[in-house]
Structure 1
Amino acid sequence: MDVVQKLFPNGGWDVHYHIFEPDRFPYSSNRHLTPPPATIDQFLEHIRKLGITNSVLTHGLSYGSDCSSLRTFVAELGPSKTKAIGVIDPQTVTAEELASMHHDGIRGIRVNVYQYQAMHDVKRQMSALRDHSRVLHEHCPGWSMAFTHTHPEFWVQLKPFMEQEIIPTGIKVVTDHFALLKGASMLQAEKGVSDATQQSGFKEIIELVRNGHIFVKISAPYRVSNQAPNYEDLKPLVRALLDANPRQILWGSDWPHGPPMTVRSREEAMTEIPFLEIDDLAWLKSLRSWLSAEEWNAVMVTNPRALYDW
């Protein structure tokens, strides 16, 4: 049995990746980032090497809230194997559009914090989450709502907000990339802190996971750790999340591995930025060594299937 078969005896889901084909689908003129092409064929070759069998395609923010590319990509990847996460403008989207998106395999949205100029503003993040949750509550029962930001310390304020305004609506909230909690290597480099469990936001995230209030994607380890390719310093975070609630953890590659999230000038946003070189197989093997067989199957198969494949 080869390494891939050992990793995924029951198959495996990648719940966070992007496809960029700007020749077919031009990027938004208001984009925050210009990525190189990352095609369907390249992604299929990527997952073939890893042994991934199912996926959840995440709409690239470089396309704005126009999901025509996303819907085409899902159709070409195969709706039986692929679901998707879209981006909407909650002020203009219609019930008919949302129903059509659902028909085409979309099972959730991601909140574009750039659109709200909310990257570094927790109040604006709350406003964005409130606007999107209202639309989902009214028109899309069962859809999830994902968001990414760069300030784990914001969870001190986001936790009570979520518990009071978002969780009671029944919306399934997903946060990407370890909720941007940092591994010890990056904490030490940035803040001189060596214990990842003591960083601001950690306690709040763990409590939300324990209570089943949010899902966390253990994705894009290079965004939160300097210890590539195995990211050993992320083991305490992974174990804390799994120990809190193994039903709330998902895995995503973040292929094709874009640069860190940041607010860019107009000129920077219009300039193509190359992808990072990441050893996904090494990261998966490292992660597998930290989990029991039951936990691994939950993260890679049963959790994503329950959240997206209905």
Structure 2
Amino acid sequence: MSSRKTRALLGWAYLLPYATLFVLFVLVPIVVAAYLAVMQFDLTSPRSAGFVGFRNFVDAWKDEYLQRAFVVTAKFAAMMVPSLVVTAFALALGLNAMPRGRNTVRALVFLPTMFTVAVTGILWQWFYNLEFGLFNFILRNLGLAPVPWLSDKNIAMPSIVLMSLWWTSGGTAVILLAGLQNIPRMFHEAAALDGADGWRGFWSVTFPLLRPVVLFVVVTNLIGAFQFFPQAQLLTGGGPELATRGVVQYIYETAFNGYRLGYAAAMSWMLAAVVAVFGFLQFWLMRKEAS
């Protein structure tokens, strides 16, 4: 066998494990979800499953609970993404300006991102506990009344956003820091000679050169925000009064509490369509930025 064929076979052999996992855990679920979306499939009576066409999609379009879940998800995204970008930018600028100990501080900043969401949720459940939580302990010592962080519908969502910021800001800051460090020093030196230092230099030099990275961070986190689920599931269970139940949680409850897999699959495709719009928006903006 020629060396060329040997290299080709070796390449396919290296690719096979990934391809197998991709088929099993990506392609097969997509096909199954597409099948279920056009079926009336109830786990309590699987033998009664039948083809219903687009009826699940029509019902989902009229579903007031799904509409409310989309509003909650949009609210989370509107609060989370700008806060995350600003916080991560501040961390990245601070790290970039550090003359010493940058790697140690960067590791500490990135540390929360390495925690699983389950660990993060349990930790912040204690922070927010009405009687024994850290935050209310501090408030009591300051002579202030304790705050029902997770049981007040007006405070629950900001509380989830705060936890999410702590959990994800470090990873986003590292991405922005990498972008900052890739900006040639000569641009800053030229701007300083022209009198554009400090904030003027940031807005006239740093931010324009970092715009592709910022665009990537904004769109990817926007996509992630529209899929938020475990934070609310762990902290509030979607309450109080459904104030924190997003689309993914409603789909989860419909499928595994209500056993309506067909209807849940249809809602999943509707959410996927929304996420795909943001994905295409990212590609379009990145191409426009590159040109």
Q: Which has the higher contact order (CA 8 A, sep 6+)?
A: 2
TM-score, normalized by length of structure 2? 0.24
Structure-1-length-normalised TM-score: 0.23
Whose Rg is larger? 2
More strand as a share of residues: 1
* Higher share in helix: 2
